A and B are shown apart, each in its own frame.
Chain A
Amino acid sequence: NAGVTQTPKFQVLKTGQSMTLQCAQDMNHEYMSWYRQDPGMGLRLIHYSVGAGITDQGEVPNGYNVSRSTTEDFPLRLLSAAPSQTSVYFCASRQRDSYEQYFGPGTRLTVT
């Protein structure tokens, strides 16, 4: 049982490049979320999903896309990277009736 896994752990992009941050969970959790963590600001919700085929926007969705084709996977796509997207990205999952979220180890992204 690996829990929530994220790849890559570190990534450096140039402005304008696109990439996908991977997130997978093996706990059969219905809810999955993507957060970004910036210094002094706590975590902010980017996008979330309440089940396969269903996604919705969080607090800071601009510049990011998500899809949820399976229960296990919830990739986050950066369409055209900007320096403002330099951050640490966390993926989380939880069961429908639980409020305890399980977090992945994070992806540290730098956009130059």
Chain B
Amino acid sequence: AQKVTQAQTEISVVEKEDVTLDCVYETRDTTYYLFWYKQPPSGELVFLIRRNSFDEQNEISGRYSWNFQKSTSSFNFTITASQVVDSAVYFCALKDSNYQLIWGAGTKLIIKP
């Protein structure tokens, strides 16, 4: 069965600290895609990144970086030098064989000034 687990329900850090959000997935597919979305307090869902199962290279985009490890079925998301504007709920998701997204429960990130 396809499943995405985000074990951290809520994380609170002080501004400028680095923070890592964990995502562990389960799938029997050999080809799959993983995603991260951000949901700020305003409620909209913002696409952050997509990674396919054949590309294990880490990705960096500004203060954001993603560590994909097939050996541990993890796709973790790190924010470096966090800012108050990073406060949001972050979702990890897995594309299943029907091309629909299986979502984790989300991690609420609170960045304190």
Contacts and interface: CB of A to CB of B under 8 A. Distances in A.
Interface string B6-21: 1001000000000000
B103 interface: yes
- Which residue, B4, B33, B44, B101, has most C-beta atoms of chain A within 10 A? B101
Interface in A26-41: 31, 33, 35, 40-41
Interface stretch (A16-24, A77-85, A97-105): A97-105
B100 A90 contact: no
Interface residues of B, number: 20
Contacts of B44: 103, 105-106
Interface residues on A, range: 20 to 34
Interface of B: 4, 6, 9, 33, 35, 43-45, 47, 50, 91, 93, 95, 99-101, 103-106
